[in-house]
Structure 1
Amino acid sequence: MKLKDKVCIVTGATSGMGKAIAEGLSSEGARLVLSGRNRESGKALEKSLENAVFVPGDVTDPLYNKKLVDTAVDTYGQLDILSLNAGVLGLGNVVELPIDTWHNAINTNLSSLFYLCKYALPILQQQPQGNILINASIAAFKSFPNHPAYCASKAGAVALMKQMAVDYAPNIRVNAICPGPVDTPLLWESAKAFEHPETAVEHAKRTTLLKRLGTPEDITKLVLFLVSDESSWITGTTVTIDGGIINT
């Protein structure tokens, strides 16, 4: 078990990639603090995993993020890893996009990263090696129609990752992954922003060089590598995992 006795906070843990990542971390021996807004799904996940505690709440609330850190310390006595996966889309072009929707996407996808890292970094620094992994998106580099808040927030997430890697080296590694079209509810919701939503997901599948959508398990395998000692000389790096679609 490559993460035996490591303590990890997982945001966005109640569905999609975040849930698969939480399950993968647990399978490698990590002890988890699970974050999400869906209380029923969170409690079910907590029950299905060993050494996991679910803390329901909204990552856009700074004090909720502090609660996640406090829970890790109070429950397990330490904190080693942050796996940051919470995200929303905020669909609509700039003229049509409601200001509240813009703020919600920026707060969920970017500001929440700052909040959790602000409270977690002093605890991570107490460990011989801390690890922060941000789940960003190829939307940080590749534009999609009617995704202004999503694209802007994911680009900001990558920039924040690079900056924190500079400030907190050498004992804390900070990286980001940028998934492409992964078969989750968020992908199908994203399709609504395209001219032909009924065929957008199939088009994305055909456009990848590998001719398939990603799975949450594909992403989990990369996460497990990047938060383990197997990647001990990797920091400040963005890893794209998209079936090659960014090259098309």
Structure 2
Amino acid sequence: MSTKLKHKVCIVTGATSGMGKAIATSFVSQGAQVVLSGRNEERGSSLAKELGENAFFLSGDVSLPEYNDQLVKKAIEHFGKLDIVSMNAGILGLGNVTDLPLELWKNTMDINLSSLFYLSKYAIPELQKNEGSSILINASIAAFKSFPNHPAYCASKAGSLALMRQMAVEYAPKIRVNAICPGPVDTPLLWDSAKAFQEPKIAVQNAANTTLLKRLGKPTDIANLALFLVSEEASWITGTAMTIDGGILNA
């Protein structure tokens, strides 16, 4: 087993599917101990069992401040400290501005943006106790590029980058804070996003073809970048939003 994250304790939200699952799996494979966060009890428990004694699953809703507090407390209780927070939970909140229900706008902001503040608020005091601590936010190219029927998603992802940069300034040099901005990655969220278009299958294929590399991203592509950014190999990188999109923003 590789050991880039040996002796590191991590919290990974959105860990029960897609990119979050790939990140959690990668971190454990590199020697980390990981608290897995997600809402699906069955998937989360199954992943924890698959990953073994170095993984612990705590189900809950990241939009609730108290759940984020509990995540941090469980990391300390089970593994003794906290070094890395990787935040991946997110929803789309589809609908244009005039039609989007107010509750869906609020829920999207709570999950995609407020949850980042909540978990950071409770995690930072623990992260400050250790050398090489890191916060990594999974944002999106939607922070830079607008998509039809995604106002809440685009706004929340742009906000996540502003929060990332502010925390990087506030907590340097003790804690590094960065973001990754994926393009079209083959996950359930991408296929849900495609429902905003008249022909979802064609929309997904068009997204793949629009990238310079002519394919969708894979969750493991994102996990590889996440691993780099939280490892010592990226020890001089902070306050950065790193795009990983197959070149679609340049197409």
2:233 equivalent to 1:195: no
2:49 equivalent to 1:47: yes
- How many residues are paired up? 248
Q: State the distance in 1 between where 2:51 and 2:6 align.
A: 14
The residue correspondences of 1:169-180 to structure 2 (distance < 5 A) are 169-180=172-183
Question: Equivalent residue for 1:33?
Answer: 35
In structure 1, stretches of 5+ residues that fail to align are none
Q: State the distance in 2 between where 1:39 and 1:82 align.
A: 21
Question: Equivalent residue for 1:160?
Answer: 163
Deviation at 1:243, TM superposition (A): 0.2
Deviation at 1:171, TM superposition (A): 1.2
2:174 aligned partner, one-letter code: N
8 A contact 2:141–2:243 mirrored in 1: yes
Deviation at 1:210, TM superposition (A): 0.3
Amino-acid identity (%): 69
* CA offsets 1:177-230 (integer angstroms, 9 cap, x no match): 000000000000000112332310000011000000000000010011000000
2:236 equivalent to 1:229: no
Deviation at 1:247, TM superposition (A): 1.2
Deviation at 1:128, TM superposition (A): 1.6
List structure 1 runs of 4+ shifted beyond 4 angstroms: none
Question: Equivalent residue for 1:22?
Answer: 24
Q: State the distance in 2 between where 1:198 and 1:236 align.
A: 36
The residue correspondences of 1:52-201 to structure 2 (distance < 5 A) are 52-201=55-204
2:213 equivalent to 1:210: yes
Q: State the distance in 2 between where 1:151 and 1:131 align.
A: 25
Q: State the distance in 1 between where 2:85 and 2:155 align.
A: 22
In structure 2, stretches of 5+ residues that fail to align are none
Q: State the distance in 2 between where 1:14 and 1:42 align.
A: 5
* CA offsets 1:8-35 (integer angstroms, 9 cap, x no match): 0000000000001100000000000000
Please, what TM-score do these two structures have when normalized by structure 1? 0.99
2:242 aligned partner, one-letter code: V
Aligned CA-pair RMSD = 0.6
8 A contact 2:132–2:235 mirrored in 1: no
- Which of residues 239, 243, 247 in structure 1 aligns to 2:242? 239
Question: Equivalent residue for 2:11?
Answer: 9
Q: State the distance in 2 between where 1:16 and 1:46 align.
A: 15
